[in-house]
């Protein structure tokens, strides 16, 4: 035993010396981790890098002799750098120091060094721990960026594009001290997301075809500023460009007054026509951006009752994406100008769907999201369905024809049948009130009680033959659901009520939590609902770019599309068509006073009904291809249309 002790002591000493001499192996640095088809929160939000840079844009929008610099506020994992490159989520906005972002109007907050300590919305709290950088970009002319905003024009668009170029080494970036700033921490794969103006910038930048922008998520976004401020020659608001650009610019008014004056002079408010200014702000088929250039995938979110960014902005954009086979996904809601984060009962699903979308397009995670049905559609208050596409595939187009007795059906009115009204400025409540009583400012037609539910999915088309006693008239067409029902009350609070209870998405700091108040959908029980609206100036019946007055006393064809919808007309309700003059709810124009005569024999509204027509007996409906359906005719006992 005594002989073993020195040996044991020697072994122990050797082991101790080895333990002291060999450094402890450093813990492995966090890396992108994927489980269950989703990146996992392995990076510290509290320890994330918070910094800002200025990216040089190829425009001098304020004409001060210097190229504008775009302020970019960045939050990214501490570990990101040359050894761990991460993709980027961008929310570019003009609203960070005025109206704020989100349902709770969050604004940026800064520390003494000028870095952001509070990033609005949940994107930073949720995605930075999962291996993303989040950039909140001040649109040119707003907050801490240089220049002057120009409502969707070159300054707005090229400023955002420059940020994508900087991330990919194609544009200059500078730190606050003027030294070069390199984005050596990113893969160069970028996305853009945002609601309203923010989502509009995403559409616009994607339509430049910029390399490195892999996906966009435009929410309640504009695709054509003409559609935002015009409908077939009818002007919604006069001098709107100067109003909006001044509203988002918190600099002294004098700085950008010359820019605003030039925009107002070029807007064509005297005619309402589509002109070069609007072509420059058209991202589907414009002169600055064009949907044919898009390289990014697109996840569209919009609501059919958004009468701010009207839904033709998403329906025409969606069709343009489909025509070009752009990878895409869509959510269609029934509130008004509301973010999907605030769709009742959908917050968790929204965050998870967005997470999987970004993981697929930015991290390359094969999670199956592109193999799922393309469209989620709200068909009633907080009631959603999933379908292959939007509008509902195989919708059939039913031509509904007005008759002099006030009925609306499939049969043509007798030759020579007419209806008349005067183009006066009238609000929609007056247009749809007392529908069976004559009104000099409108004509109205209704079906009988519907024997089954009918779903409208898509965009109705109004096709009228009219004559005027003056060179032009504004025309309004309304599709109305007459019947007591509880519907989404999108007029009140945009369709939602904000509660006091919160839920949290992502990690938090004392300065920036990821917690937000829950919401519920507002509903109201009413005897009718205007479902679809459409407007046209008769002198724009042939062209949006050139006015052509209708010869007084001569009939002419006036055909246009209403705003799109997705809506279920309930059994027992009546479907109505109202034709009137100038809609005071949505246009600042005065009525022309023209007397409008409608040739009922050659007039109709074509409504896309989803196929199959739910509950309709098969022996009472005949399909003649995808574009025509034969429905039951009225008789003495059963009047359908």
Q: What is the DSSP letter of 106?
A: B
Task: Give, in degrees to the nearest 5, the angle at Cα 396 between 392 and 399.
Answer: 135
Distances (CA, A) of 348 to 446, 555, 557: 42, 55, 49
Q: Which residues contact 92 (CB under 8 A, 6 or more apart)?
A: 136, 137, 138, 139, 159, 160, 163, 192, 194, 198, 201, 202, 205
User: In 423-547, which residue ranges form alpha helices assigned H by DSSP?
Assistant: 428-432
Q: Which residues contact 251 (CB under 8 A, 6 or more apart)?
A: 141
Beta partners for residue 446, in sequence order:
407, 576
State the helix-helix crossing angle for 154-167 and 197-206, rounded to 10 degrees. 70
N-term to C-term CA, the chain: 109
DSSP per residue, 295-332: -SEEEEEEETT-SSS-THHHHHHHHHHHHTT--EEEEE
Single out the residue of 442, 629, 626, 469 nearest to residue 538, CA to CA.
Answer: 469
State the helix-helix crossing angle for 257-266 and 240-248, rounded to 10 degrees. 150
Distances (CA, A) of 579 to 398, 420, 526, 555, 630: 18, 10, 22, 17, 25
Single out the residue of 134, 110, 112 nearest to residue 121, CA to CA.
Answer: 134
Residue 565 in contact with residue 456, Cβ under 8 Å? yes
Using a 10 angstrom Cβ sphere, with 0-12 exposed, 13-18 middle and 19 or more buried, the burial of residue 244 is: buried
558: which 2 tokens? 């006036």
d(C-alpha 288, C-alpha 167), whole Å: 22
Single out the residue of 175, 211, 170, 182 nearest to residue 82, CA to CA.
Answer: 182
d(C-alpha 90, C-alpha 498), whole Å: 26
CA quadruple 176, 181, 187, 191: dihedral sign = positive
Supply the residues annotated as catalytic: 196, 306, 337
Task: Give, in degrees to the nearest 5, the angle at Cα 150 between 99 and 106.
Answer: 15
Give the total residue count for the chain.
641
């Amino acid at each position: 035993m005594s002989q073993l002790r020195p040996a044991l002591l020697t072994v122990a000493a050797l082991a101790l010396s080895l333990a002291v001499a060999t450094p402890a192996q450093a813990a492995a640095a966090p890396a992108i981790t994927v489980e269950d088809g989703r990146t996992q929160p392995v990076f510290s939000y509290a320890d994330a890098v918070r910094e800002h840079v200025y990216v040089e844009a190829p425009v001098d929008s304020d004409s001060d002799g210097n190229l504008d610099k775009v302020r970019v506020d960045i939050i990214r994992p501490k570990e990101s750098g040359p050894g761990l490159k991460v993709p980027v989520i961008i929310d570019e906005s003009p609203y960070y120091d005025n109206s704020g972002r989100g349902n709770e109007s969050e604004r940026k907050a800064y520390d003494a060094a000028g870095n952001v300590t509070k990033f609005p919305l949940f994107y930073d709290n949720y995605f930075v721990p999962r291996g993303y950088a989040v950039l909140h970009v001040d649109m040119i002319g707003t907050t801490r960026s240089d220049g002057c905003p120009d409502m969707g024009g070159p300054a707005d668009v090229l400023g955002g594009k420059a940020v994508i170029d900087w991330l990919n080494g194609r544009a200059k970036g500078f730190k606050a001290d003027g030294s070069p700033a390199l984005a050596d921490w990113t893969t160069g794969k970028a996305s853009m997301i945002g609601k309203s103006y923010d989502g509009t910038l995403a559409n616009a930048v994607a339509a430049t075809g910029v390399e490195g922008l892999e996906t966009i998520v435009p929410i309640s976004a504009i695709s054509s500023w003409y559609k935002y401020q015009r409908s077939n020659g009818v002007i919604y608001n006069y001098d709107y460009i100067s109003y909006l650009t001044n509203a988002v610019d918190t600099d002294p008014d004098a700085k950008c007054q010359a820019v605003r004056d030039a925009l107002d002079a070029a807007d064509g408010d005297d005619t309402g026509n589509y002109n070069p200014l609007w072509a420059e702000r058209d991202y589907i088929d414009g002169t600055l951006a064009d949907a044919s250039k898009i390289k990014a995938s697109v996840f569209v979110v919009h609501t059919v009752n958004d009468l701010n960014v009207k839904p033709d902005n998403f329906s025409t954009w969606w069709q343009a994406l489909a025509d070009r086979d752009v990878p895409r996904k869509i959510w269609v809601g029934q509130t008004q100008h509301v973010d999907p984060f605030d769709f009742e009962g959908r917050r968790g699903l929204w965050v998870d769907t967005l997470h999987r979308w970004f993981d697929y397009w930015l991290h390359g995670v094969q999670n199956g999201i592109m193999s799922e049905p393309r469209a989620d559609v709200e068909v009633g208050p907080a009631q959603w369905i999933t379908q292959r596409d939007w509008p509902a595939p195989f919708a059939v187009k039913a031509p509904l024809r007005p008759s002099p007795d006030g009925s609306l059906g499939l049969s043509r009115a007798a030759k020579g049948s007419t209806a008349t009204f005067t183009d006066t400025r009238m609000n929609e409540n007056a247009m749809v009130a007392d529908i069976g009583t004559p009104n000099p400012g409108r004509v109205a037609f209704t079906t009988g009680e519907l024997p089954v539910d009918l779903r409208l999915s898509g965009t109705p088309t109004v096709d009228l033959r009219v004559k005027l006693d003056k060179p032009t008239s504004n025309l309004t067409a309304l599709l109305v659901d007459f019947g007591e029902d509880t519907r989404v009350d999108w007029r009140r609070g945009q369709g939602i009520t904000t509660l006091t209870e919160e839920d949290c998405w992502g990690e938090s700091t004392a300065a920036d939590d990821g917690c937000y108040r829950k919401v519920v959908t507002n509903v109201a029980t009413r005897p009718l609902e205007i479902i679809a609206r459409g407007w046209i100036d008769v002198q724009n019946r042939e062209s949006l770019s050139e006015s052509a007055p209708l010869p007084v006393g001569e009939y002419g064809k006036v055909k246009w599309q209403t705003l799109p919808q997705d809506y279920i007309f309930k059994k027992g309700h009546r479907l109505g068509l109202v034709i009137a003059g100038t809609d005071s709810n949505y246009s600042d124009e005065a009525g022309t006073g023209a007397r409008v005569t409608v040739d009922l024999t050659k007039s109709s509204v074509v409504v896309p009904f989803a196929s199959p027509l739910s509950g309709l007996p098969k022996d009472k409906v005949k399909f003649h291809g995808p574009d025509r359906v034969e429905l039951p005719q009225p008789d003495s006992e059963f009047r359908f249309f």
